[in-house]
Structures are given as structure tokens and as C-alpha cells.
Amino acid sequence: AQSVAQPEDQVNVAEGNPLTVKCTYSVSGNPYLFWYVQYPNRGLQFLLKYITGDNLVKGSYGFEAEFNKSQTSFHLKKPSALVSDSALYFCAVRLSSRGYSTLTFGKGTMLLVSP
Amino acid sequence: GAVVSQHPSRVICKSGTSVKIECRSLDFQATTMFWYRQFPKQSLMLMATSNEGSKATYEQGVEKDKFLINHASLTLSTLTVTSAHPEDSSFYICSARPQDILSYEQYFGPGTRLTVT
């Protein structure tokens, strides 16, 4: 079984400050890890993924995430937050084995960036 | 980039009626499509996985006779909510995985807001 934990329901940060949205995962095997963002009444937009290689992954809109195998974490980060970054963020994991496997999502973390 | 559309974006129906939601991959072929349900301020819950030309695989607790899924082509999957009840009101999101066996990603549609009165 695979699972994702996002321990924070909400993260508040002031514009211009760095932000971190936490994610830990559990999977029996090598993981593929993803971050998605959702704006109100919209579908999910892909931000970034970790498949293999460098542990620091850079994605869209200045976001990055660091894969830490020993801590089974994949925290999302951005050096300087924007008000427009305010949205719901989902971490997701799937097995890296060939063939079919489904994405498992965390419960989501609401990011609120204040002006 | 890969685009997935859903139609309609918003639908209101009366209790007891059926409603069909379409999911299309616009610029790629999708062997597999997924249907999710999302309640307010909650995560996405996978309802079922559909593979082109075969029966959908439903997650535990999802009524296959109530949520009919058809994946008739490599670019179209439909979800039909039959005999809808107010508790079926939710945000339904589809996603599609490209036919490329090495593809790691799923591309998500914009979602369909279903309200059953």
C-alpha cells in the first residue's frame, strides 16, 4: 500500500518570504513523487515531479522540491512567495514499477500568502 | 502541453435523473483514464480507472452500477451518474495518462461541478 501525509492543513506566509509545504510518503518500492496545485473550482495543475536523479527538483512558477529518501519526504519550497501562490497544494505518490499503478494523493495543504 | 477537457464544467440535475460527464484528451492518446471525486476542502478520491476497450476497475466502495464508466476510444471516457441523489453532489475530476508506456504523468481535466437538487 502507498500513502501520502501532508501534516499541515494550512500554511500562512507573508509575501516575499520563503515557503515550505511538507509532504511525507510511504511506498513499498521506489516512488515517483508529484506536486500539484489547485485553484478554486479548477482541476489540478502539475508543478513538478521526482522520478530519479537529482534530489532537488525544479518546477513551474519558481517552485522546487527536495526528495529525501532517508526521511521519506518531498517538501515543496519556494524562495519568495507571491500572493498569487495562494491555492491548495497536493502531494502525490505512485510506484515506479513498470505497468499500471495509481496516484495516491495527500489530503492537501492550503497555502495563504498575505500581502 | 497535454490538455484534458471535461464537459460540462457545471451541471445541475434533479434527483433521480442521470447525468453524463465527458473527459477528452485533446492532443494525445490516453490508454488509461482516471475518475476522481473531490468533496469541499478534501483530497481527490480515486473512483475508478478505465482502460480503452475494457471494463473499468472500480475502487472499493464505489458502486459500479451507479457510476457507469465507458472508455470508448483513446481520447474519450465518460462517467454517467445514474439515478443521482443529492449526496452525489461533488466535484468530479478526470485525468488521462498518455499511451506512451514510459509516461510518468497524468494530465488532469478542469473538473465538473455536479449539483443534484
User: d(Cα A25, Cα B114) in Å, to the nearest integer?
Assistant: 31
Taking an 8 Å cut-off on Cβ atoms, the answer to whether B6 and A44 are in contact is: no
Residues A34, B90, B8: CA angle, nearest 5 degrees: 90
Tens digits of per-residue pLDDT, A61-115?
Answer: 999 999 999 999 999 999 999 999 999 999 999 876 555 568 889 999 999 999 9
Does the pLDDT of residue B6 top 90, yes or no?
yes
What is the nearest CA distance from A105 to chain B, expressed in angstroms?
Answer: 7
The string of pLDDT tens digits covering residues B77-103 is: 999 999 999 999 999 999 998 877 566
Cβ–Cβ gap B109/A43 under 8 Å: yes
Q: Which residues of A touch B93 (CB under 8 A)?
A: 43-44
Three-class SS state of A65: strand
Q: In this predicted structure, what is the pLDDT of residue A98? A: 52
Whole-angstrom distance, CA of residue B108 vs CA of residue B91: 13
- Report CB contact under 8 Å: B93, A46: no
pLDDT in tens, B27-83: 889 888 999 999 887 888 999 999 888 889 999 999 999 999 998 899 999 999 999
Please report, as a single letter, which amino acid is at residue B107: Y
The mean of the pLDDT values for chain A is 91
Q: What is d(CA B11, CA B2) in angstroms, rounded to the nearest whole number?
A: 25
Phi and psi angles of residue A78, each rounded to the nearest 5 degrees, phi first: -150, 135
Q: What is the pLDDT of residue B99?
A: 79
- Structural contact between residues B6 and B110, judged by C-beta atoms closer than 8 angstroms: yes
What is the rounded distance in angstroms from the CA atom of residue A114 to the CA atom of residue B65?
Answer: 46
Q: pLDDT of A5-54, one tens digit each? A: 999 999 999 999 999 999 999 988 888 999 999 988 788 899 999 988 89
